[in-house]
Structure 1
């Protein structure tokens, strides 16, 4: 039985690290979020939910204007900028979770391909030897 592929280990370690870093921020999904309201942000779904609710609240706080639309001297520009940065950070963590899971899937695919090739080799080599002996 093959052991864990290093890519699976790296993907798993990345997933855990990103989850721990999110958890350390002590963020809770807003109560009016569409899903996972009130949950601690420590995974891809809770991070996505919180990013979505920030996107919903930010226009309310800035009169519907984005960072680029606000005047440079407008104090609401900082609100829009912080909302944008928070969303980007949360979406970065969502992407990181996805890449970690993809890496684990690739590692598993390598293991399965190796097992399959060994099985084919185990059948093909004795058959070739038998034909050579005849």
Structure 2
């Protein structure tokens, strides 16, 4: 019967898409909850979102940026790599670097989760289109003269 392969493929693509949407949503929610549980607030002197709770990609980015500003102020504008090994400010620069890396990792995780959701939705639409086209092909085949 014509269209069976397209229908099967469409169904598989749609199911994979649904799984991606769910996985992306769960990931986004988990990262949000973990950040929220850390009880971090964007510093009052941040360029944007000052005073906001760090629980999403934009607030995490804002906090990472202000941590960098504060660390550079504390170290006289020097980064970890620029400070001498025995400089006590090197620990401050290193801690700031680790905090920023953690926040940027959450920003990336939010982005990947959002991308999984969007790609999953696209797969659902493609799967639906394949199934619809296969049904049309079957109807056309049944109506065709023998």
Q: Deviation per CA, 1:31-87, whole angstroms, max 9, x where unpaired?
A: 111111101101001000001111111111001111111111111000000111111
**Does 1 or 2 have the higher relative contact order (CA < 8 Å, sep 6+)?**
2
Q: Which runs of 5+ in 1 are unaligned?
A: none
In the alignment, the residues of structure 2 paired with residue 67 and residue 35 of structure 1 have an alpha-carbon distance, to the nearest angstrom, of: 25
Partner of 1:127: 140
Instruction: Report the TM-score, using the length of structure 1 for normalisation.
Output: 0.93
Partner of 1:8: 21
Per the TM alignment, residue 128 of structure 1 is displaced from its structure 2 partner at its CA by 2.2
Q: Which runs of 5+ in 2 are unaligned?
A: 1-13
In the alignment, the residues of structure 1 paired with residue 38 and residue 143 of structure 2 have an alpha-carbon distance, to the nearest angstrom, of: 65
Q: How does 1:35-74 map to 2 (within 5 A)?
A: 35-74=48-87
Q: Of residues 101, 115, 120 in structure 2, which corresponds to 1:88?
A: 101
| Larger mean Cα displacement after TM superposition, 2-11 or 105-114 | 2-11
Instruction: Report the TM-score, using the length of structure 2 for normalisation.
Output: 0.85
In the alignment, the residues of structure 2 paired with residue 124 and residue 52 of structure 1 have an alpha-carbon distance, to the nearest angstrom, of: 56
In the alignment, the residues of structure 1 paired with residue 112 and residue 91 of structure 2 have an alpha-carbon distance, to the nearest angstrom, of: 31
Aligned pair count? Answer: 132
* SS of 1:72 mapped into structure 2: coil
More helix by share: 2
